[in-house]
Chains A and B, each alone.
Chain A
Amino acid sequence: MGKGLLGIEPLERPEIEQMLERAREFQYHGSGPLPKLNVCSGRLVVNMFFENSTRTRSSFEIAAKRLGADTLSITAAGSSVSKGESLVDTLNTLVAMHPSAIVMRHAASGAPHFLSRHLMTPIINAGDGTHEHPTQALLDARTILDRLGKLDGLRVAIIGDIAHSRVARSNIHLLSKFGADLVLCGPPPLLPPQMASITNGVTLEYDIRKAVKDADVVMMLRVQLERIHEPAIPAGEYFRFYGLRLEHLELAKPHAIVMHPGPINRGREISSDVADSQRSMILNQVENGVAVRMAVLEKVLLQ
């Protein structure tokens, strides 16, 4: 069975290092049009997005195209899923067309893991429910390395709706493997106490000022209203207690950077002056998305 990328948790540190290094080689520093490589020509990558996405989907598409692979993107609204077909049947139909890899986003945690037990085609997880989003963690790591030069020993604060965040889980697993110090912070209903035990080096904090104190990296998460069936905290209180403002950044290390997987909600989890500040890596993250996904696709397609 072909090996895809389902999550960060099962990976070993050298595999991650290898992908991050390869992504660095794919970074583009020129000014003209993006150069196209042909290392993966003849391969077909199907992007199967059962959940809306702008940046992840376009990033995977650009990455595949730059590698010279053919791409086909399908969104749930236009697919047979909206006609009541089961997930297994939909994927089997696609597999019959012999793609080399399937990039998949799905609202159910574990959907790609479940499918990978029934399909031969490698699956790259582009986000499954509230579980993992491995390429986001890789591009975040690439971004931190670009700016701070290392991951081990860093103090990283992840702030927001941890409970419903697949970005948080993938980042926690990745950064923990590299020996980072992780501080998770959010309103108690969105920060389950068990989160402290999912891997090594994780502590919980309910006060944003304590969380950002001496941090090298501050990662903000979007409040995922679509996954919350009941308000965990009144909307007005959220920004007051957990929204990142410039005054908080003064508590962090002088070189500290601010990250956000996007899309950002200005004035809800992050103030505009922070989002637009020199410390904000938000657009660097987007840019690294292409390089990292090229590295992942190349690895999966050429194995």
Chain B
Amino acid sequence: MKTLIRNGRVICPASNHDAVSDVLIEDGRIVGVGSGFSASGATVIDASGLIVAPGFIDIHVHLREPGFEHAETIETGTRAAAAGGFTTVCCMPNTKPVNDSAMVTSYIVETASRVSPVRVCPIGAITKGSEGEELASIGSMADAGAVAISDDGRPVMNSRVMRRAMEIARALNLPVIDHCEDLNLTAGGDMHECVDSVNLGLRPIPSASEDVMVARDIILAELTGARFHVAHISTKNSVAMVGYAKQRGLRVTAEATPHHIALHTGHMKPYDSNYKMKPPLRCSTDVEAVLGGIASGAIDCLATDHAPHAGDDKMQEFEKCPFGITGLETAVGVSLEVLVHSGRISLTKLIAMLTCEPARVIGWKGGQARGALTPGYLGDVTVFHPEYPWTFDVAKSLSKSRNSPFSGRTFHGGPIMTIVGGEEKWRAPGF
């Protein structure tokens, strides 16, 4: 099977390519970028006036299956991913049961292979049940397809357990992704500690709860030689520490979410749970520091932390509502607005943060290599428009959940076509 994508402006940051060209995909893999490819026997896609990029990769999503199918399923979550321009998503292990064994990992891989339009790579738990005590079956999960380990949402508090996990992860060459939060410092908090949290009478989550764990994990990464990846970085000090760790040559990487760069505490509607997530929206100084970290390279990639929750769960007293918002369908629109249209980074750099950079964080090799339009790589392509105006209507979201603070917001530029293994999986209405 052949697919020829013609006349688009092809931008592949990994190979420094930026020119109007064609992309040929055959038998699910990239054949090459250039011109003069024969169209005979190929499905031809006209991308005139559009940007053609390697398929976007989101290394931090929650698909909720197994266990929380009322909020999202692998099928609905990955359909939302395709509509957001993502061709690969990595799903966190906080399902029910927790993905702490090869059995659950295989269940996710097999279900995804039947129902998902995009590629799904599970992230295994660090500890059994993500309870922070006994290590999970990390090697078996890796054999079954897990690409990283994390106890996202229920971070490992015991530093000795984290050290052992990093030692094992290093031997298996898996990154350790940590949701850096000292739960004792957070102490059941609901909102970033600031004047607003004090005024609204909401229990505070201090920036320090993130900072102390980022510091600990960097020290443990140095001790063990492991690859340590900071999930959803949100504070000034954390960004500075990751930058310092990189200067010292440690294998430390970090991701930022679109909502943590687009919104700060001043944007919150009081007691509206569509603004409640972990880490919480921080103050404008932290947001500025995260943006600075993106520009400087301290932060490697973007990731959505897509966290669907059923309407009933989010329609409660603020302190009772679960943490998290959806993000797959708005990620590209938000990132273009905050990073590119504002002039903070180039379009090429944004594409890198959605393609070759997350690919490097995970480290896909050989037949699994992705994130660039290199011959032999997986034939995944995202076609997007950098400017056309569209308005996000959460009621029309392909996700099963509706918890987004971006509903009604107009963006300029967004995904047009999502191509996985040479097959068109999604196309924007009207294109």
> Which residues on B sit within 8 Å (CB–CB) of A129?
201, 319
Tell me whether B164 is interfacial, beta carbon within 8 Å: no
Tell me whether B107 is interfacial, beta carbon within 8 Å: no
Task: Say whether B201 contacts A130, CB under 8 Å.
Answer: yes
> Which residues on B sit within 8 Å (CB–CB) of A195?
198
Query: Which residue of chain A has the shortest Cβ distance to B271 in the bound complex?
Result: A110
Query: Which residue of chain A has the shortest Cβ distance to B313 in the bound complex?
Result: A86
> Which residues on A sit within 8 Å (CB–CB) of B317?
87, 106, 108, 110-111, 114
* Residue of B197, B200, B202 with highest tally of chain A CB at under 10 A: B200
Task: Say whether A87 contacts B200, CB under 8 Å.
Answer: no
List B189-205 residues whose CB lies under 8 Å from chain A: 193-195, 197-202, 204
Give the CA-CA distance A118 to B273 in the complex, in Å: 14
Tell me whether B318 is interfacial, beta carbon within 8 Å: yes
Give the CA-CA distance A128 to B271 in the complex, in Å: 12
Task: Say whether B199 contacts A198, CB under 8 Å.
Answer: yes
Chain A nearest CB: distance from B146 CB in Å? 36
Give the CA-CA distance A9 to B198 in the complex, in Å: 13
From B187, B198, B271, B312, contact of A229 by CB (8 A): B187
Task: Say whether A87 contacts B201, CB under 8 Å.
Answer: no
> Which residues on B sit within 8 Å (CB–CB) of A111?
271, 317-318
Query: Which residue of chain A has the shortest Cβ distance to B191 in the bound complex?
Result: A109
Query: Which residue of chain A has the shortest Cβ distance to B190 in the bound complex?
Result: A109
> Which residues on A sit within 8 Å (CB–CB) of B195?
194, 197-198
Chain B nearest CB: distance from A97 CB in Å? 21
Chain A nearest CB: distance from B286 CB in Å? 15
Tell me whether A177 is interfacial, beta carbon within 8 Å: no
Interface of chain B: mostly helix, strand, loop or mixed: loop
From B193, B201, B204, contact of A131 by CB (8 A): B201
From B188, B198, B315, B319, contact of A108 by CB (8 A): B319
Tell me whether B270 is interfacial, beta carbon within 8 Å: yes
Tell me whether B159 is interfacial, beta carbon within 8 Å: no
Query: Which residue of chain B has the shortest Cβ distance to A108 in the bound complex?
Result: B317
Tell me whether A254 is interfacial, beta carbon within 8 Å: no
Task: Say whether A166 contacts B201, CB under 8 Å.
Answer: yes
Query: Which residue of chain B has the shortest Cβ distance to A196 in the bound complex?
Result: B195
Tell me whether B316 is interfacial, beta carbon within 8 Å: yes
Tell me whether A132 is interfacial, beta carbon within 8 Å: yes
From B272, B315, B319, contact of A109 by CB (8 A): B319
Task: Say whether A128 contacts B201, CB under 8 Å.
Answer: yes
Give the CA-CA distance A131 to B199 in the complex, in Å: 7
> Which residues on A sit within 8 Å (CB–CB) of B318?
108-111, 114
Q: How many A-B residue pairs have CB under 8 A?
A: 65
Task: Say whether A108 contacts B199, CB under 8 Å.
Answer: no
Query: Which residue of chain B has the shortest Cβ distance to A86 in the bound complex?
Result: B316
Query: Which residue of chain B has the shortest Cβ distance to A230 in the bound complex?
Result: B187
Tell me whether A260 is interfacial, beta carbon within 8 Å: no
Interface size on B, as a range, is 20 to 34
Give the CA-CA distance A54 to B379 in the complex, in Å: 69
Tell me whether A232 is interfacial, beta carbon within 8 Å: no
**Chain B 203-233 interface mask (CB, 8 Å, partner A; 1/0):** 0100000000000000000000000000000
Task: Say whether B312 contacts A86, CB under 8 Å.
Answer: yes
Task: Say whether B188 contacts A110, CB under 8 Å.
Answer: no
> Which residues on B sit within 8 Å (CB–CB) of A263?
none
Tell me whether B320 is interfacial, beta carbon within 8 Å: yes
From B187, B188, B198, contact of A198 by CB (8 A): B198
A169-B201, A198-B195 known; A108-B320 Cβ under 8 A:
yes
Task: Say whether B270 contacts A113, CB under 8 Å.
Answer: yes
Chain A nearest CB: distance from B284 CB in Å? 14
* Residue of B187, B194, B204, B270 with highest tally of chain A CB at under 10 A: B270
From A88, A106, A113, A169, contact of B315 by CB (8 A): A88
Tell me whether A192 is interfacial, beta carbon within 8 Å: yes
Query: Which residue of chain A has the shortest Cβ distance to B187 in the bound complex?
Result: A229
Chain A nearest CB: distance from B176 CB in Å? 31
> Which residues on B sit within 8 Å (CB–CB) of A131?
200-202
> Which residues on B sit within 8 Å (CB–CB) of A128?
201
> Which residues on A sit within 8 Å (CB–CB) of B312?
86
> Which residues on A sit within 8 Å (CB–CB) of B187?
229
Task: Say whether A114 contacts B271, CB under 8 Å.
Answer: yes
Task: Say whether A113 contacts B271, CB under 8 Å.
Answer: yes
> Which residues on B sit within 8 Å (CB–CB) of A87?
316-317
From B193, B197, B201, B204, contact of A132 by CB (8 A): B201
* Residue of B188, B197, B198 with highest tally of chain A CB at under 10 A: B198
Query: Which residue of chain A has the shortest Cβ distance to B312 in the bound complex?
Result: A86
List B89-132 residues whose CB lies under 8 Å from chain A: none
Query: Which residue of chain A has the shortest Cβ distance to B273 in the bound complex?
Result: A114
A86-B312, A86-B315, A114-B317 known; A109-B271 Cβ under 8 A:
yes
Give the CA-CA distance A192 to B270 in the complex, in Å: 20
Chain A nearest CB: distance from B157 CB in Å? 17
* Residue of A111, A114, A117 with highest tally of chain B CB at under 10 A: A114
From A86, A117, A118, A192, contact of B198 by CB (8 A): A192
Give the CA-CA distance A129 to B195 in the complex, in Å: 17
Give the CA-CA distance A88 to B311 in the complex, in Å: 12
List A238-273 residues whose CB lies under 8 Å from chain B: none
> Which residues on B sit within 8 Å (CB–CB) of A88?
315-316
Give the CA-CA distance A9 to B318 in the complex, in Å: 19
Task: Say whether B316 contacts A109, CB under 8 Å.
Answer: no
Task: Say whether B202 contacts A109, CB under 8 Å.
Answer: yes
**Chain B 160-204 interface mask (CB, 8 Å, partner A; 1/0):** 000000000000000000000000000110000111011111101
> Which residues on A sit within 8 Å (CB–CB) of B193?
192, 194
Give the CA-CA distance A178 to B140 in the complex, in Å: 67
Give the CA-CA distance A113 to B187 in the complex, in Å: 24
> Which residues on A sit within 8 Å (CB–CB) of B320?
108
> Which residues on B sit within 8 Å (CB–CB) of A169?
199, 201
Give the CA-CA distance A117 to B273 in the complex, in Å: 12
Give the CA-CA distance A87 to B199 in the complex, in Å: 23
Chain A nearest CB: distance from B207 CB in Å? 13
- Can you list 7 contacts pairing A with B, beta carbon distance less than 8 Å? A86-B312, A87-B317, A109-B318, A110-B201, A110-B202, A131-B202, A197-B195
10 tightest A-B contacts by CB? A110-B271, A131-B201, A108-B317, A130-B201, A109-B201, A194-B198, A198-B199, A194-B195, A111-B317, A197-B195
**Given A108-B320, A118-B315, A229-B188, 9 new contacts (CB under 8 A):** A9-B199, A87-B316, A87-B317, A109-B201, A110-B202, A111-B317, A114-B271, A128-B201, A198-B199
